Amino acid sequence: YTAANTYTNLKESSNENIGIGYNFNDQLSFEYNHLDTEVSYESLKKGRLNSFTDSSNKQDLIQLNYNGNKTKGHAWFNKTKLDYAGSSARNLFENESFGADLQQNIELNNKSLLTVGGVYKREVYNSKLKKGKPSIGKKARNQMGLFAQLDYKFNDKDNVIIGGRGTWTSSESNGQSYDNFSTSAQYIHKFDQDKSFYVSVAESFVMPSFKQMFPSSWVETKPNPDLKPQEGINYEMGYKEISGNHAWKVALFHMDIKDNISATLNKDDTYEYSNQDFKNTGFEASLRVDASEKFDYDLGLLVHNPKYKWDTDIRNGWHNKFGKYQITGGVGYKIDKFRAKLTGSYIGDRYSSPSTMSYSYKLKPYFLTSLTATYSPDNNSEVSLLINNLLNRSDILSYSNKVGFGSLYTPTNFMLSYTYRF
């Protein structure tokens, strides 16, 4: 849906997957998954075909996992082939990544547990524009990391967890390399078995992906090889309590992200990923109650103030983003072989933050609802009914790159499924 009376519809889609797993023993397992998805969209403007998009996504995912008492390891190889076809161009993305991580738990004494480990990852990104402008070609890099964490118990009620992680890259195709050292600390106090308080401080580090640094599609895009990693610091403290059939959680948090990675639409209608600072401060609380053997309900509240910063001649300073508060809740019922769950999520004081040079603007609240009902006649069979958007609301779920553009919530829809296990 857009303000210009343009609609994007799903024409057809297919999804074919196969998965194979084998357990060599209790510690060592192997998994292989192949996923094949094809999707077609069409854009209609005033009832006439405006543009179309066809995409084909093929993935091969291989994993080898080891889970021992003190040692854990994971090796993987992933390959993705994504073929886009639009009204004016066609793209082919080929991505490969492989690597391994290993961690070891070391009991220093009855109060201290040390965890150490490392990770290696090789990424290869190849963007081929079959029709249209030339592609940026093949990119590759190595990413390594070492980490350590110490969990120390002062006594039965107090313990502290401190950690550090070093990350760096090599063999960058564009000649750049990155390195970072992040730390974290958490203190936990248990008043008793059912009541606890915690406070934590953690640094974060996120590498820009090749697709963000070198985007390529039928939409006009600009590469940004100088895109910076996003670094931040997160503070949180909270309280948890279980009292009879009630479970309470409350928390205060603040995050401050420098060089947050986000998409931008420039004046010349070209896309480019750029760095913008982001910050958020808020409060969240939740309650779960097992009212009886048949009924349970939960309620959650989030109040926060997410903002992002622009540093341009046209738009600068801090601007609102997302919604300012969210209320979630659900009611569950179960009896014998039948169970059901009704849920709702309300987000108010919402703001759209378009990727153009336009300022953020207000959106109406949305209220998402769903109902799930399941009947299990025996241990092997299960019949489920899922109904979404019970109130059939035409709420805007997400916004696009320009003022007035957005995606509407799908009208009331349902899925009936039958599962047999043997």
pTM > 0.85:
no
pLDDT tens across 198-222, in order? 999 999 999 988 888 877 654 556 7
Mean pLDDT score, 253-258: 96
Q: Which of 421, 128, 401 is nearest to 272 (CA)?
A: 401
Highest mean pLDDT among 82-91, 273-282, 347-356: 273-282
| Token reading at 197 | 């308080």
CB 289 within 8 A of CB 246: yes
Task: Please give the torsion angle defined by the CA atoms of residues 383, 409, 93 and 118, in that order, rounded to the nearest 10 degrees.
Answer: -70
pLDDT at 413 over 80: yes
Mean pLDDT, the chain, whole residue set: 88
**% residues pLDDT > 70 (the chain):** 87
pLDDT value of residue 123: 92
Determine the Cα–Cα distance for residues 219 and 203; give it in Å rounded to an integer: 35
Alpha carbon distances (Å) from 351 to 97, 253, 259, 359, 399: 37, 21, 21, 10, 10
Determine the Cα–Cα distance for residues 280 and 9; give it in Å rounded to an integer: 35
pLDDT at 129 over 60: yes
Which of the two residues, 263 and 69, has the higher pLDDT score? 69
Determine the Cα–Cα distance for residues 332 and 387; give it in Å rounded to an integer: 15
For 313-341, letters b (16+ CB in 10 Å) and e give eeeeeeebbbbbbbbbbbebeeeeeebeb
Least confident range from 26-40, 176-190, 217-231: namely 217-231
Highest mean pLDDT among 3-12, 285-294, 397-406: 285-294
State how beta strands 361-363 and 396-399 pair.
unpaired
pLDDT at 402 over 60: no
Angle CA(200)–CA(204)–CA(207) in degrees, nearest 5?
A: 165
pLDDT value of residue 197: 97
127: which residues sit within 8 A by CB, 6+ positions away? 91, 92, 93, 135, 136, 137, 214, 216
pLDDT value of residue 43: 78
Residue 354 binned pLDDT confidence (cut-offs 50, 70, 90): low
Q: Which of 129, 218, 144 is nearest to 179 (CA)?
A: 144
Q: Which of 331, 245, 240, 332 is nearest to 286 (CA)?
A: 240
pLDDT tens across 86-128, in order? 766 777 888 899 999 999 999 999 899 999 999 999 999 887 7
**% residues pLDDT > 90 (the chain):** 60
pLDDT tens across 27-83, in order? 999 999 999 999 988 877 777 777 778 889 999 999 999 999 999 999 999 999 988
Pick left, alpha or beta for residue 300 (phi over 0 → left; psi -120 to 50 → alpha; otherwise beta): beta
pLDDT value of residue 88: 66
Least confident range from 246-255, 308-317, 410-419: namely 308-317
Amino acid letter for position 54:
D
Residue 269 binned pLDDT confidence (cut-offs 50, 70, 90): low
| Token reading at 139 | 């990119």
Burial (0-12, 13-18, 19+ Cβ within 10 Å), 91: buried
Residue 267 binned pLDDT confidence (cut-offs 50, 70, 90): low
Beta bridge partners of 9: 42
Determine the Cα–Cα distance for residues 50 and 8; give it in Å rounded to an integer: 9
